[in-house]
Every structure is written in structure tokens, then in C-alpha cells.
């Protein structure tokens, strides 16, 4: 078989089809639309079934915890009567230490059910450890492919730590440097091994997170007798926010505001070898969050099940220094030592709480494990070795890749609001580059995808010279 880069890329669709057991073509519509809900339903698990599988395999039912001291601190800098109660859903207590266990549990269950001998995932994040842990439970072989080093062979400490975790769970870890070979290598491995593609973006993965949304509504009702006013989700590829929001909608008919939060890494390029080790965050940042929101189908499957624009009400960013500061605050004030991704939402929640009244409730929907290279001390030392200046001041002056500014006073921890309207318009523009004409179904699809309406879409379409069929 021809294994050149071009030849393997040309076989991409058939490799995907064989390795994931989903015929994506059957959900395709006219020019740009596809039937998202049919794709989700076709996978054949109800939310109750997902929950049953997860509880059989050590996943879910994590505790909801009130951060009383952090709430008290937020109230010190709020207007009188303001400062919502802040809660966290302690997802670090899943086996493998993050909510990613929910995604992996469904992928591995399905792989076993379909008779695959092993699973493969391309991920530098928590998902690797989650897949490795679930594969161990199911007696499946596991390969994790990571983008780990820059071209000088220097590894990002957080990713190196995740390799350690994957290997501890018995997985084989293939570590690559930054560049396009990751996807090529991933496809080759799928073909050579015949293993299941445990992609983060299949319906199984996203459906696995719906249980998290359901639990946080139930936990909140049990603990405080009402549903939260706002749920903050750390956002990168969009599956976390999508799955959580879908679970919430399936569990309550009341409106809960869904806020996405990402670390602001403006100016750093995700594919750049030089920038690779200048980032102190490997996920939950704008380098993934924005491109995946604007074009969700840029992932490793033909149609991503993570479609955050359908559900998001606000999208906010916080800076690296603010997240490091909140990580220490969670440890020092609440006695809970957790990793960076959940603390991105916590830093945002600290600022958002000040907009809400004291009797209102914000849930940060996840925490993640920390330790070794994932720890904020390790990340700050690594940043310093890479020439990043670290000091106290106003985080709003932070320049990603040049400095990390820890807030001098807590009132300086302030979210930046991203313009969702602009993001929606960019999403539409991206879709329109894929076609010369649109049908009524395409227009309806765009309205659902952007959580807007037909007149909004028509206004946008009229700006481009694109034919609309009757």
C-alpha cells in the first residue's frame, strides 16, 4: 500500500469510516447542512443508558461543592447585594482525573461492543489518560498519539505528565513534535492496527458529557433547592460545552445561562514550533476555542458532535495570570488542589459572580487533577525558563508569550467579553465558502447552528453573492 502523506490523506474518509463505525454520509443534506440530531440519536444510547454505563465503569456522580470562601472574596469586591454563590462540580474525582472520563467511557464501551481489539486517540490532553483508563477496564489495547515536543525536543511539562499517566494505565504513547504529521501518523496507525478511533468528536464522546449537565441540575436541586442561574464551561474544541448544555436541556425546561470561558492566548499560533512552549496552557484556550467555534468540522471526524455555537449564551476570556492566581486561591482558601482547565472557568466565575445577586448561583462545571508537570508551579517555572516575565500587576496588560501578569489585587480579575455576534458571522462566512448555492434546508441549518433565526441568516447571506434555491 502507498503510505506517502498524499496517499494516506486521500484514503482519510474510508479509514475513518472503518475505524469509527459511523457512516457520516447518511446524515448529509443539501450543500452544507447535515442532520445533527439524527447523527446523535443514531448512536443508539439514551441519557439513562449513558449514565448506567458510566456508573458501571467508575465514571460520574461526582460531588458538587460550594466554594464559600471564594464567594466571600468575590463579595468583598462586589457592589452591595451582589456576589453570586460559586459552586464547582468536582470532576477531578472521576477515574483518570477529569470529565474526559465521561467521553472515553462511551467510546471504549462502543469499541468493545463492536468487537474492536483496541482504541486509538490523538490527544495531548486529559483525554489520553481517560481513554487509557477506560481501555484498561475493558481489556482493550490502547495507543495515544501526542504532539508533545518542539523541534528541539523540549516537551511541554503538562503533556509530558499526561504521557506518564497514559503509560501508567498501560497505553502505548507515541510522542511527536509540532506539525502536520500527527494526523498522518494517526491515520496510518488506525489502518495498520484496525483499532477503534476513539475521537473526541464522535457522538459517543459528546453524549458521554450529557450526564454531567444532567447531574449538575440534579445536584443543585438536591443541595440548594433550585437550578443554577449560570453554568461556566471551559471551552476548547467545544465538546465540553455542547455535551453539558445538552444534558441540562434534557433535564430541565428552565433556562440556564451557558457561558464558555477560555484562556486568552491571542497572538500565539497553535501550529508554530516557536510558540508551542511559550503557552502555559495546553487546552481551554482561545487557540482552540475560536477556530473550533467558527468551524467545528475541522476535527478528526467528518462531522463534529461538538457544536458550541448552538448552545452558548456568552463567551468570555480570562488571562493566564488570572487563572494561575485562581488556582492558588482555590488551594489556599478552599483546600482543593486542582489543575488548570477547570480553574479557567473558576477565574471567569469569580468575575461573573460580581454581576449577579447574592442569592443567585453559578456552577463551574468541572475541575481536573493536577500534579507533576500539570501543576501551576511547574508551568510557571517552565514559562520562566522560556524567557516569560512573571510579575504582579494588571492582567489586562498581559501579552501571551511575553509575560504572565498575576493580579495585584483581586478586583483586577475581570472577564473580557468576546463578541458572539462577530463569531456567528464568521461561522456563517466559513460555511458559505464551502458552497455556491443554498437551499431552504441549508438556511434553516445555519439558523440552528448559530442559535439565531432565518431573518438574521438572510441578512448575512445577502452580503455575499450566493444563489438561494427555491
Alpha-carbon gap, residue 250 to 51, rounded angstroms: 13
Single out the residue of 78, 264, 277, 283 in contact with ligand PLP (rule: CB under 6 A).
Answer: 283
Nearer to ligand PLP, 51 or 89 (CB): 89
The H or E element that residue 261 is part of is strand 257-263
Single out the residue of 284, 287, 302, 401 in contact with ligand PLP (rule: CB under 6 A).
Answer: 284
416: helix, coil or strand? strand
The mark string for 358-397 relative to ligand PLP (x by CB under 6 A, - otherwise) is --------x-x-----------------------------
Nearer to ligand PLP, 212 or 438 (CB): 212
Q: Which stretch binds ligand PLP (CB under 6 A): 238-246, 401-409, 438-446, 456-464?
A: 238-246
Interface with ligand PLP includes 60 (CB under 6 A)? no
Alpha-carbon gap, residue 103 to 98, rounded angstroms: 10
Interface with ligand PLP includes 31 (CB under 6 A)? no
Q: Grid coordinates 462511551 are at which residue?
A: 106
Q: Which stretch binds ligand PLP (CB under 6 A): 112-120, 140-148, 232-240, 326-334?
A: 232-240
Q: How far is the CB of 199 from ligand PLP (least distance, A)?
A: 12
Q: How many residues bind ligand PLP (CB under 6 A)?
A: 17
DSSP assignments along 323-391, one per residue: HHHHHHHHHHHH-----HHHHHHHHHHHHHGGGSBTT-EEEE-------GGGSHHHHHHHHHHTT-EEE
Q: How far is the CB of 290 from ligand PLP (least distance, A)?
A: 12
Q: How far is the CB of 284 from ligand PLP (least distance, A)?
A: 5
Single out the residue of 105, 235, 264, 329 in contact with ligand PLP (rule: CB under 6 A).
Answer: 235
Q: Which stretch binds ligand PLP (CB under 6 A): 22-30, 111-119, 237-245, 447-455?
A: 237-245
Single out the residue of 125, 208, 296, 407 in contact with ligand PLP (rule: CB under 6 A).
Answer: 125
Single out the residue of 341, 347, 364, 412 in contact with ligand PLP (rule: CB under 6 A).
Answer: 341
Q: How far is the CB of 306 from ligand PLP (least distance, A)?
A: 6
Interface with ligand PLP includes 238 (CB under 6 A)? yes
Q: List the grid coordinates of 249.
A: 436541556
Determine the angle formed by the axes of helices 286-294 and 420-432, rounding to 10 degrees.
50
Q: Which stretch binds ligand PLP (CB under 6 A): 65-73, 110-118, 228-236, 348-356?
A: 228-236
Print burial letters for 284-309: b (CB count within 10 Å at least 16), e (below 16): bbbbbbbebbbbbbebbbbbbbbbbb
Determine the angle formed by the axes of helices 12-20 and 181-193, rounding to 10 degrees.
50
Cα 134 to the center of its chain, rounded Å: 19
Closest alpha carbon to 42 in 55, 18, 16, 24: 24
**Using CB under 6 A, which residues numbered 288 to 307 contact ligand PLP?**
306
Q: Grid coordinates 479509514 are at which residue?
A: 15
Interface with ligand PLP includes 98 (CB under 6 A)? yes
Closest alpha carbon to 170 in 196, 195, 141: 141
Interface with ligand PLP includes 100 (CB under 6 A)? yes
Alpha-carbon gap, residue 111 to 142, rounded angstroms: 11
Interface with ligand PLP includes 147 (CB under 6 A)? no
Closest alpha carbon to 290 in 322, 305, 312, 320: 312
Interface with ligand PLP includes 126 (CB under 6 A)? yes
Interface with ligand PLP includes 229 (CB under 6 A)? no
Phi, psi of 147 (to 5 degrees): -95, 110
Phi, psi of 419 (to 5 degrees): -85, 100
Single out the residue of 83, 157, 203, 239 in contact with ligand PLP (rule: CB under 6 A).
Answer: 239
Interface with ligand PLP includes 234 (CB under 6 A)? yes
Binding site for ligand PLP (CB under 6 A): 98, 100, 125-126, 234-240, 283-284, 306, 341, 366, 368
Amino acid at each position: 500500500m502507498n503510505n506517502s502523506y498524499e496517499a494516506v490523506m486521500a484514503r482519510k474518509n474510508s479509514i475513518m469510516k472503518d475505524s469509527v463505525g459511523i457512516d457520516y454520509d447518511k446524515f448529509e443534506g443539501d450543500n452544507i447542512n447535515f442532520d445533527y440530531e439524527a447523527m446523535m440519536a443514531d448512536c443508539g444510547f439514551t441519557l439513562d443508558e449513558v449514565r448506567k454505563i458510566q456508573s458501571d465503569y467508575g465514571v460520574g456522580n461526582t460531588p458538587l461543592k460550594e466554594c464559600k470562601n471564594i464567594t466571600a472574596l468575590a463579595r468583598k469586591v462586589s457592589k452591595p447585594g451582589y456576589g453570586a454563590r460559586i459552586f464547582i462540580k468536582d470532576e477531578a474525582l472521576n477515574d483518570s482525573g477529569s470529565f474526559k472520563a465521561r467521553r472515553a467511557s462511551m467510546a471504549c464501551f462502543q469499541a468493545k461492543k463492536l468487537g474492536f481489539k483496541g482504541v486509538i486517540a490523538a490527544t495531548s490532553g486529559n483525554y489520553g489518560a481517560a481513554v487509557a483508563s477506560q481501555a484498561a477496564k475493558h481489556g482493550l489495547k490502547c495507543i495515544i498519539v501526542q504532539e508533545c515536543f518542539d523541534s528541539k525536543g523540549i516537551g511541554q511539562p503538562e503533556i509530558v505528565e499526561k504521557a506518564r499517566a497514559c503509560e501508567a494505565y498501560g497505553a502505548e504513547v507515541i510522542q511527536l513534535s509540532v506539525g502536520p504529521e500527527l494526523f498522518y501518523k494517526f491515520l496510518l496507525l488506525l489502518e495498520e492496527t484496525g483499532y477503534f478511533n476513539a475521537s473526541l468528536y464522535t457522538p459517543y464522546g459528546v453524549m458521554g458529557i450529557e450526564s454531567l449537565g444532567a447531574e449538575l441540575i440534579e445536584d443543585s436541586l438536591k443541595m440548594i433547592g433550585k437550578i443554577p442561574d449560570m453554568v461556566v464551561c471551559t471551552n476548547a474544541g467545544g465538546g465540553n460545552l455542547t455535551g453539558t448544555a445538552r444534558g441540562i436541556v434534557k433535564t430541565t425546561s428552565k433556562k440556564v445561562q451557558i457561558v464558555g470561558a477560555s484562556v486568552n492566548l491571542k497572538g500565539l499560533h497553535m501550529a508554530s514550533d516557536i510558540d508551542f512552549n511559550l503557552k502555559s496552557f495546553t487546552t481551554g484556550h482561545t487557540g482552540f476555542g475560536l477556530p473550533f467555534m467558527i468551524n467545528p468540522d475541522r476535527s478528526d471526524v467528518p462531522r463534529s458532535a461538538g457544536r458550541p455555537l448552538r448552545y452558548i449564551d456568552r463567551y468570555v476570556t480570562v488571562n493566564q495570570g488570572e487563572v494561575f492566581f485562581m488556582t492558588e486561591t482555590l488551594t489556599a482558601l478552599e483546600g482543593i488542589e486542582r489543575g488548570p482547565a477547570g480553574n479557567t472557568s473558576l477565574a471567569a466565575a469569580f468575575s461573573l459572580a460580581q454581576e449577579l445577586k447574592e442569592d443567585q448561583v453559578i456552577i463551574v462545571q468541572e475541575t481536573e487533577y493536577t500534579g507533576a508537570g500539570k501543576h501551576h508551579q511547574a508551568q510557571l517555572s517552565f514559562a520562566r525558563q522560556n524567557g516569560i516575565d512573571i510579575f504582579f500587576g494588571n492582567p489586562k496588560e498581559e501579552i501571551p508569550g511575553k509575560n504572565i501578569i498575576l493580579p495585584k489585587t483581586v478586583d483586577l480579575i475581570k472577564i473580557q467579553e468576546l463578541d458572539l455576534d462577530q463569531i456567528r458571522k464568521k461561522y456563517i462566512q466559513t460555511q458559505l465558502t464551502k458552497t455556491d448555492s443554498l437551499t431552504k434546508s441549508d438556511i434553516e441549518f445555519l439558523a440552528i447552528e448559530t442559535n439565531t433565526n432565518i431573518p438574521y441568516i438572510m441578512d448575512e447571506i445577502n452580503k455575499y453573492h450566493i444563489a438561494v434555491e427555491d
